[in-house]
């Protein structure tokens, strides 16, 4: 990680056993499949991992198993999502000790920090660990965006090693490229649906949640982008946009939005035979048979091969 973060770095789901423990066997199969597909890193304990619901013990299990399974083939980055700086420092130190090569941190939330306090926060994190700190912008979850003025300072003074932007706002991303593109750090998009455009605008890498299900597609986009073949990138992206519709198949009067979205990734991986259980973390409720069947159909439509 002395170089810029780049390539496809999927935010991994956390395979669970039926009784809610990390399912090491499934997790290793998932990791092998991703590495075989050509990803350049693994981001565990991100939003896609249900990190907000995992206890500290489960988070540690996730990092430990991932580092063990990766066997150094690609670096493992670990999210340290929590409401406050001191809390994230605790997570970050444990993750570093367990072998994470970078830690990914949102701003503090629940509270309402201002741009100066967000700078303060990342400086404290960077001082607490020796691996790079990646700033994670995901206001849909935190309700606290990383202001461009904070990003500017943090990138140029060397506090952060990368930005992961999951705002869904292409102009935030474009402005970030413009503002910190010269800082020599990774600029990653978390978008599943405009990875092609983000790469065209100068993204160094992509972090797509549905890359768990179809890593091949995003690796293809990334490779097409490298050669400037935007038409191929766009065609592949459009296929993946359709596949991404699985995040909205759940009936929201029955289960929550996050349960439906993250549950659909797990259900798809279960149907593809990659993981043994589609179980999500309590208190999220499961998808039902009808919804699962729609997901299966989406897999078929996208050219993937469900085995159950």
The catalytic residue among 101, 164, 216, 218 is 164
For residue 1, give every residue at least 6 positions away whose Cβ sits within 8 Å of its Cβ, in sequence order, or none: 75, 101, 102, 131, 132, 161
Residue from 25, 110, 182, 226 that binds a second copy (CB under 8 A)? 110
- Distance, CA of 173 to CA of 198 (rounded, Å): 8
Helix/strand/coil (H/E/C) assignment for every residue in 259-270: HHHHHHHHHHHH
- Judged by DSSP in three states, 96 sits in helix
Touching a second copy, residues 249-268 (CB under 8 A): 252-259
- Distance, CA of 244 to CA of 264 (rounded, Å): 9
Active site residue 136: yes
Active site residue 270: no
The four Cα atoms 17, 23, 26, 31 give a dihedral, to 10 degrees, of 140
- 122 phi and psi, to 5 degrees? -70, -30
Helices (H), strands (E): how many in the chain? 12, 8
- Distance, CA of 51 to CA of 164 (rounded, Å): 16
Alpha helices (H) in 46-194, listed in sequence order: 56-70, 85-97, 115-128, 139-142, 148-156, 170-180
Q: Which stretch binds a second copy (CB under 8 A): 4-12, 21-29, 148-156, 165-173?
A: 165-173
For a second copy, the closer CB: 44 or 272: 44
Residue from 112, 130, 227, 307 that binds a second copy (CB under 8 A)? 112
The catalytic residue among 28, 97, 127, 136 is 136
Residue 113 binds to a second copy (criterion: CB under 8 A): yes
Smallest distance, Å, CB 161 to a second copy? 19
- Distance, CA of 199 to CA of 222 (rounded, Å): 8
For residue 55, give every residue at least 6 positions away whose Cβ sits within 8 Å of its Cβ, in sequence order, or none: none
Smallest distance, Å, CB 307 to a second copy? 29
For a second copy, the closer CB: 158 or 242: 242
Residue 36 binds to a second copy (criterion: CB under 8 A): no
Touching a second copy, residues 268-307 (CB under 8 A): 281-285
For a second copy, the closer CB: 112 or 307: 112
Q: Which stretch binds a second copy (CB under 8 A): 52-60, 94-102, 151-159, 263-271?
A: 52-60
Whether 197 and 208 have beta carbons less than 8 Å apart is answered as: no
- Distance, CA of 216 to CA of 219 (rounded, Å): 5
Residue from 40, 47, 279, 292 that binds a second copy (CB under 8 A)? 47
Touching a second copy, residues 191-220 (CB under 8 A): 193-194, 197, 200-201
Residue 97 binds to a second copy (criterion: CB under 8 A): no
- Distance, CA of 308 to CA of 306 (rounded, Å): 6
Smallest distance, Å, CB 70 to a second copy? 25
Smallest distance, Å, CB 111 to a second copy? 4
Smallest distance, Å, CB 128 to a second copy? 11
Whether 246 and 228 have beta carbons less than 8 Å apart is answered as: no
Residues annotated as part of the active site: 136, 164
Interface with a second copy by CB under 8 A: which residues? 47, 50, 52-56, 58, 81-87, 89-90, 108-114, 116-118, 120-121, 124, 141-143, 168-171, 174-175, 178, 193-194, 197, 200-201, 230, 234, 238, 241, 252-259, 281-285
């Amino acid at each position: 990680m002395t170089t810029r973060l780049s390539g496809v770095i999927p935010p991994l789901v956390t395979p669970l056993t039926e009784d809610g423990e990390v399912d090491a066997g499934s997790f290793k199969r998932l990791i092998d499949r991703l590495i075989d597909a050509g990803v350049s890193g693994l981001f565990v304990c991100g939003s896609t991992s249900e990190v907000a619901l995992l206890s500290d013990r489960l988070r540690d299990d996730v990092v430990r198993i991932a580092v063990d399974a990766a066997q150094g083939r690609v670096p493992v980055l670990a999210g340290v999502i929590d409401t406050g700086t001191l809390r994230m420092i605790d997570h970050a130190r444990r993750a570093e000790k367990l072998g994470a090569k970078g830690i990914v941190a949102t701003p503090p939330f629940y509270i309402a920090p201002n741009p100066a306090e967000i700078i303060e926060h990342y400086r404290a994190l960077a001082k607490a660990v020796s691996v790079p700190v990646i700033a994670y912008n995901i206001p849909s979850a935190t309700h606290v965006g990383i202001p461009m003025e904070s990003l500017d300072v943090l990138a140029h003074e060397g506090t952060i090693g990368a930005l992961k932007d999951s705002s869904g706002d292409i102009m935030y991303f474009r402005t970030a490229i413009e503002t910190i593109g010269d800082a020599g750090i990774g600029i990653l998009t978390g978008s599943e649906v405009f990875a092609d455009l983000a790469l065209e605008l100068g993204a160094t890498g992509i972090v797509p949640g549905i890359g768990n299900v179809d890593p091949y597609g995003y690796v293809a986009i990334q490779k097409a982008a490298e050669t400037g073949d935007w038409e191929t990138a766009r065609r592949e992206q459009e296929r993946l946009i359709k596949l991404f519709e699985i995040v909205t198949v759940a009936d929201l009067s029955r289960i929550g939005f996050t349960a439906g979205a993250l549950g659909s990734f797990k259900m798809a991986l279960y149907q593809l035979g990659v993981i043994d259980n589609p179980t999500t973390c309590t208190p999220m409720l499961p998808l039902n048979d009808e919804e699962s069947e729609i997901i299966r159909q989406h897999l078929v439509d996208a050219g993937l091969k469900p085995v159950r």
